[in-house]
Amino acid sequence: MADPLAKLSPDQLKRVRKTRQPAWIDPMLATLTNDYFSDPEWVFEPKLDGIRCIAFKKGDRVVLLSRNKLDLTAAYIRVADALRKQEGDFILDGELAAIEGDRTSFSLLQQARHQKVPLAYFVFDIPFVNGSDLRGVDLLGRKAALKAAIRFKAPLRFVSHIETDGEAYFEEACKRGWEGLIAKRAASTYVKGRTKDWLKFKCSNEQEFVIGGYTDPQGSRTGFGALLVGYYDNGELLYAGKVGTGFDHETLLELLARMKPLERDASPFAGDPPLRKGVHWLKPKLVAQVGFAEWTPDGRLRHPRFLGLRSDKKARDVVRERG
């Protein structure tokens, strides 16, 4: 392995801190915006439709953790093995995703439980390497260190970026069926939590929702009819609508099995129950990824479709994303 710090300028090296590698770091999170722009002080990366993953390597030990510290190592053992073969110690930040043509697909990632699908770990940051804390180094310096530290070969992929026209790149991304772009301030340091130094440009509306109930199936449908979903606002679970599409037969049965043990008598949603007949209320534990056309003026989802369950997000962290 080339020395990652050799890629840093003298000014960048001044921001490196020598310290013991921690067992956990809080990831840096992007903020949704509808204001798309081009700016020479920003870079633009593809937005990946998968599971956020922080990878830790210390000696021969590799651990893959989700945003809420769920251990993903056993589920993605091929990625863990590829990282174990790398030289040195490090912490990487990236996304585990399934590849469908030239884009990533969260729906396809869900099928990995039942069939073999093309998977990759897309790496876009390196907060720590060989006892050096790089979080105080600017983004472009960390990117340079990342390329020097890791030998990128399947299933490991380096997330490239452009430094030119963000608006044109966003238009191209949407035409190619990508989820969108992440805009990152080139001079940004790596900080924990949500920040406006990283911004999400989304081609379509898609976010997580808490499952608070389900309806009985109608006609020839098996399992259940629709999911009743919502999001938290000031500690209250607000109802956002019914999701009745996006399920195959197997998913209907699997989801029903997951929901049955969570049934409760009363609605978990704030205010009067949104429905009264043929409804099974749930403890708000499960989180679904949902795509939709738009929000209605009364705060409901228009044309929602189920994309999959998220095990990497806590129900209490689910809020309405606003641009």
Count of other CB atoms within 10 angstroms of residue 60: 7
Active site residue 85: no
Query: In the structure encoding, which two tokens stand for residue 190, read together?
Result: 């790596």
* DSSP per-residue codes, 39-108: -TTEEEEEPP-SEEEEEEEETTEEEEE-TT--B-TTTTHHHHHHHHTSSS-EEEEEEEEEEETTEE-HHH
The one catalytic residue in 7, 14, 18, 47 is 47
The span from the CA of 314 to the CA of 303, in Å, is 25
Burial class (CB in 10 A: 0-12, 13-18, 19+), 302: exposed
Count of Cβ atoms closer than 10 Å to residue 320 Cβ: 15
Distance CA 231, CA 280 (A): 18
Give every CB contact of residue 116 below 8 A, 6+ residues apart in sequence: none
Contact status, residue 172 vs residue 103, Cβ threshold 8 Å? no
Across 193-206, b (16+ Cβ under 10 Å) vs e yields: eebebbbbbbbebb
CA dist., res. 65 & res. 93, Å (int)? 10
Active site residues: 47
